[in-house]
Structure 1
Amino acid sequence: MKNWQEVFKLFLQGLYKAVSRFPFTVFCLAGATGIVWYTIYIEFNPTLYINKVAYALAVGAFIGMLAQFSIERFEKLAHKPIAVYALSLVLTAGYFLIILPAPELSAEITVRTFVAVFAMLCAILWVPSFKGETNFDKVALIHFKGFFTSILYSAVLSAGIAAILAAVDMLLFDINNDAYAYTMAFIWVMFAPLYYLSLLPKFHSREEYDFDAMQRAEYYPRFLEILVSYILVPLVGIYSLVLFAYFIKILLTMKWPVGQLGPMVLIYSAVGIILFILVSLLENRFALLYRKMFPKILIPIVIMQMISVGIRLNAYGITESRYYVALFGVFSIVIGLILSLKPLTKNGFIALLAAGFAIVSILPPVDAFTVSRVSQITRLEGILQGEGILADGKLTPKVNASENAKIETTNILNYLNRQSSLEYIEWLPEDFAIYDDMRETFGFAATYPNYTNEYRYFSAFLDTRVPINISDYDISLQFHSNRYEKDMTSQTVSFMLEEKTYELVVERLSQAEVKLSIQDATGSELISTGLYEFAERLSEVGEKHKSELSPDEMTLEVNRDGYKLKILFQSINMTFEPEPDAGVDYSGQVFFGVK
């Protein structure tokens, strides 16, 4: 019992020390927890203002950590802690004021925030090792252990409390369902980060308690050594062989990948570098071999990835994702070269370089969003100029533009619209809306590619807002015919007209062709027509997808011996290839008249 009491006492002391040591971070975490609780209480999505406050508090939590580690590392700052935390408050408030006027928390704001936080995290790892005062690899190990220990404790605590609440709810009395949400919010937003902070020792303290805490924190557990050396290192080695085999395949076939290689190599490189830092404290055979071989293996693999990325950039221009994949590739090559050329000493430069690359990626005019925007606008202008649609900064709509130009123009405009960047296109009309103004501005509607190379589609739909002229016709009937009907039997609808009985017969002749006819009471055919010729003729003009076509464009009329037949298609959906999916689906109205 004494041991349990002692452990619990140390646990509470650690949490108390974390609160007193990182006051600004704890304040931000408490504020974020309060916002999550408020969101749960109001039971609907918070306002944009509340979301911006939450973003600012998240950034402030990392600023507070960096501030505290700077105070502990630099003597000049140690004498001015109030000034440092006042600066932290100013930076957090400044970030909030920067995003406050934004009409939405766009992808640009989110990515810039994430990258800035990543740069601060790199600085948090590096500051304690400044000038070699503390081994960077040990600092990284302590943070690594603390992070996963906190995750494990929080997961166990979450499961335990959820089980207790469920038992009370079923066995004793009803518990509001929000109790689970409130509890999970506190555990993961407040407790988990706080417990993680409590596991971080004072790296430069000379007090006996802090020195002992540092000794315990930097201990390399045997289970972690086994995991890193004898499981993760071989797995990364095998993965390296797979990538090298793929590299050889590329050299033999001269067929470069079209996009799947980038994320794979990016993850491989990130995991490999983190693993390199972890094995730098070990001296077993696997660790020594990994430290010797990984930097040299990393370089050709990343070069292969960069060639693949270069092909994509040349074909489709720069986007944020390609920018960061390419940037991380350059970073990985630099790291590989440095680790290959220098003897093993300290790896703090890895965090420093990572922070530097991250900061460059969010500073105009070389930031990811500016470079991507300029690249895509330039590419769009080149496509439109090649089609003769754009000349001297003026647009001339062109109906018969090439299919590729229509698709690429639509894709680029959609991309720029998602990034709130249409306003940067000087020659584009103000308040341009893709779905409303494409045809008027460029001469064609928004056009999208087929999702697979093997299928070819066409579809057309009626604009139901336009009035329909039904004069000279006596009756209207609905019809539809699906290519996947189990059999090809006819569909018949009987109706009376001037005391005579007629039948509408919809006969599926094949997956593409449908015959539509009117018969009298004896079964004699009065008037008929096939539908496929009309659908095929419609598909030969314009885009692969037509919406809101006028009734005149969607109408097929037939006259015979005083009988009039008018088919107004509501939709036509065609698949040209491959078998067995090729065919046409029809739906619409049939108007029949007798002179």
Structure 2
Amino acid sequence: MNRFIELIQYMVKGMSRAVLRFPLTVLSLVGATILICYMISLNDSPSLFIQKVMFTLLVGAFLGMVAQFSTERFEKLSKSRPVVYGISALLTLGYYMILWPAPEISAEIGVRTFVAVFAMLCAVLWVPCYKIKTDFNQVALIHFKSVFTAVLYSGVLSAGIAAIIATVDILLFKINDDAYPYMMTIVWVMFAPLYYLSLLPKFNSEEESDLERMEIAKNYPRFLEILVSYIAIPLVATYSLVLLAYFIKILVTLNWPSGQLGPMVLVYSAAGLLVFVLASSLENRFASLYIKIFPKVLIPVVIMQLISVGIRLNAYGVTESRYYVVLFGVFSIVVGVMLSLKPIAKNSYIALLAACFAIFSIIPPMDAFTVSRVSQITRIENILQSDGILSEGKLIPKADASEDTKIETTNILSYLDRKSSLEYIQWLPEEFNMYQDMKKVFGFEPTYPNYGYDENQYFSASLDNLKPINISGYDVSLTIHSARYMKEEAAEPYKFTLDGVEYKILLENLFYEEAEISVRDGSGAEIIGTGLYKFVNDLAETGDSPREVMSPEEMSLEVSQNEYKLKVIFQNININYGAPNEAGFDYSAIVLFGDQNI
């Protein structure tokens, strides 16, 4: 019992020190916890404002860590700790001001934010080791152990509390179901990060108590040594042999892969470098051989991957995912060469280079999004020019364009539309809507590949009526139908009034495959809308059988835009694949509309 009390006291003291040591980070964690608990109490999806605040708190938490480690490493900064934290707070506020005018948290904002967070994480690992003040391998080991321990403790704690809540609910009295998400939020958003921070020693301190904690923290656990030396290293080695065998096969057959290699090598490189850093603190034969061999094996494997990605780039242009695969490939080659020359002495440069590459990928004009946008616009221009549809910056509608041109044009425009990048195409009309204006502007409707379906192949799905539907947060509900036999024109709009403002919901059958739902204000301007084809087609591709009964969550399409939200819950879906005169989609769905300002 005394031992248990001592352990609790030790944990509380450690977390108390973490609160004083990382004030900005802890404030961000507290804010995030409160916001999430507030959203749980509302039983609603987060509004745009709360999404922006959550992203800001995420950035603020990592800025706080970078600020603290910088003040501990650099003596001049340690004397101006309030100033450093003030600058970090201003940077956090500046990030929020950048988000403020955004109409939505787009994929671009999400990727840029998480790449910036990754760069800050790399800085957290590198700063204590600047000019070899502290061994990078020990710093990485301590962070790895701290994360593992915090996750393990939090997992056990959350499972135990959940079991207690369930037992009380069954045996004693009824407990609100929200108790579980509240508990998970407090444990995983507040406790887990705080406990992780409490396990980190002051890497650059000369005080005796800090040196003692550092000695304890950098101890290499026996179970981790076994895991790295006798499990992880053999697995990476075996995977390397498979990739090298495939490399030899390619050299013999001269048949280069067309894309499937990229993700496999990316995971291999990331896992291999992590094992490399962890193995650098070990002194056994397995670790020594791995440190000598892995960087040299990594180089040809990544070169093979880059050639594979190059084939995809030549055929389909640059996208964000391919950009990052190439960038990580270049990073892996640079690191492989560097570690081949001076392995352990240069390990800290892995984190520094990773941070530099990450920052490079989000700063225009060479960032992932600008490069991808320019590449895809150039690609569609070349396709249209080769088919005589685009000449001297002007579009010439062509109904008899080749099938490949129709499909590729549709795919590229869909990609740019999802990225909100159609406005960058100078030769497109203003306010161009690809679902409404394609035939008028290009001479043909949006065209999609049939993915090799037979003429009689079909897919159907229906809503599981035995499961409840969550309608909280929405103000209007109506049922709509769309069928292939209906004319390609707008149906009679559904008019309604909400908080004194007139609206109407419009269903338009754009062509035999696509239908679009939009909500318009009293002047007829669209305030929110979505097409149905992509969601339904993705549902068909992921379905396990031609006929399925699916849950409301699987059958729901949710869209947020301009402080409004739209939810389409499909009741029945029927898809026929084949020739255009036979193919088509039939839908029936419940449409929910809500104004987040009300």
Tell me, yes or no, whether TM beats 0.5.
yes
Percent identity reads: 63
The answer for the alignment partner of 1:435 in structure 2 is: 435
The answer for the alignment partner of 2:283 in structure 1 is: 283
User: What is the SS of the residue equivalent to 1:65?
Assistant: helix
8 A contact 1:447–1:545 mirrored in 2:
no
User: What is the SS of the residue equivalent to 2:484?
Assistant: strand
The answer for the alignment partner of 1:196 in structure 2 is: 196
Residue 584 (structure 1) shift: 7.5
Q: Distance in 2 between matches of 1:573 and 1:23?
A: 59
Deviations, residues 460-484 of structure 1 (Å, cap 9, x unaligned): 93234789xxxxxxxxxxxxxxxxx
Q: Say whether residues 1:55 and 2:55 are aligned partners.
A: yes
User: What is the SS of the residue equivalent to 1:308?
Assistant: helix
Q: Distance in 1 between matches of 2:208 and 2:584?
A: 84
8 A contact 2:108–2:369 mirrored in 1:
yes
The answer for the alignment partner of 2:397 in structure 1 is: 397
Residue 575 (structure 1) shift: 4.6
Q: Which runs of 5+ in 1 are unaligned?
A: 468-542, 549-570, 577-582, 589-595
**RMSD of equivalent CA atoms:** 2.4
Q: In 2 relative to 1, CA 113–387 (structure 1 residues): closer, same or farther, beyond 3 Å?
A: same
Q: Distance in 2 between matches of 1:418 and 1:366?
A: 20
Deviations, residues 251-277 of structure 1 (Å, cap 9, x unaligned): 222222222100000000000011110
Q: Distance in 1 between matches of 2:376 and 2:575?
A: 35
The answer for the alignment partner of 1:342 in structure 2 is: 342
Residue 185 (structure 1) shift: 0.5
Report how many residues are paired. Answer: 484
Normalising by structure 2, we get a TM-score of: 0.78
Q: In 2 relative to 1, CA 26–249 (structure 1 residues): closer, same or farther, beyond 3 Å?
A: same
Residue 194 (structure 1) shift: 0.2
Q: In 2 relative to 1, CA 362–465 (structure 1 residues): closer, same or farther, beyond 3 Å?
A: closer
Q: Distance in 2 between matches of 1:226 and 1:308?
A: 35
8 A contact 2:512–2:583 mirrored in 1:
no
Please, which of 476, 483, 486 is the counterpart of residue 463 of structure 1? 486
Q: In 2 relative to 1, CA 545–311 (structure 1 residues): closer, same or farther, beyond 3 Å?
A: farther
| Aligned AA (2:8) | F
Q: In 2 relative to 1, CA 45–232 (structure 1 residues): closer, same or farther, beyond 3 Å?
A: same
The answer for the alignment partner of 1:368 in structure 2 is: 368
Q: Say whether residues 1:91 and 2:88 are aligned partners.
A: no
Q: Distance in 1 between matches of 2:583 and 2:411?
A: 28
Q: In 2 relative to 1, CA 171–297 (structure 1 residues): closer, same or farther, beyond 3 Å?
A: same
Q: Distance in 2 between matches of 1:463 and 1:258?
A: 41
| Aligned AA (2:108) | E
Q: Distance in 2 between matches of 1:544 and 1:112?
A: 36
Q: Distance in 1 between matches of 2:267 and 2:125?
A: 21
Q: In 2 relative to 1, CA 342–114 (structure 1 residues): closer, same or farther, beyond 3 Å?
A: same
User: What is the SS of the residue equivalent to 2:445?
Assistant: coil
Q: Which runs of 5+ in 2 are unaligned?
A: 459-482, 491-509, 516-573, 587-598
The answer for the alignment partner of 1:385 in structure 2 is: 385
The answer for the alignment partner of 1:24 in structure 2 is: 24
Q: Distance in 2 between matches of 1:273 and 1:227?
A: 15
Deviations, residues 506-553 of structure 1 (Å, cap 9, x unaligned): xxxxxxxxxxxxxxxxxxxxxxxxxxxxxxxxxxxxx996679xxxxx
Deviations, residues 132-186 of structure 1 (Å, cap 9, x unaligned): 1100000000000000110000000000000000011111111011111111011
Deviations, residues 551-578 of structure 1 (Å, cap 9, x unaligned): xxxxxxxxxxxxxxxxxxxx995658xx
Residue 209 (structure 1) shift: 1.6
Q: Distance in 1 between matches of 2:395 and 2:107?
A: 29
Q: In 2 relative to 1, CA 284–378 (structure 1 residues): closer, same or farther, beyond 3 Å?
A: same
User: What is the SS of the residue equivalent to 1:18?
Assistant: helix
Q: In 2 relative to 1, CA 105–61 (structure 1 residues): closer, same or farther, beyond 3 Å?
A: same
8 A contact 2:513–2:585 mirrored in 1:
no
Q: Distance in 2 between matches of 1:132 and 1:146?
A: 22
Q: Equivalent residues in 2 for 1:13-412 (5 A)?
A: 13-342=13-342, 344-412=344-412
Q: Distance in 1 between matches of 2:201 and 2:296?
A: 35
Q: Distance in 2 between matches of 1:304 and 1:128?
A: 35
Q: Distance in 2 between matches of 1:587 and 1:203?
A: 62
Normalising by structure 1, we get a TM-score of: 0.78
| Aligned AA (1:55) | F
The answer for the alignment partner of 2:505 in structure 1 is: none
Q: In 2 relative to 1, CA 247–572 (structure 1 residues): closer, same or farther, beyond 3 Å?
A: closer
User: What is the SS of the residue equivalent to 2:344?
Assistant: coil
Deviations, residues 71-92 of structure 1 (Å, cap 9, x unaligned): 1111111111110110011000
| Aligned AA (2:372) | S
Deviating above 6 A after TM superposition, structure 1's stretches of 4 or more consecutive aligned residues are 457-460, 583-588
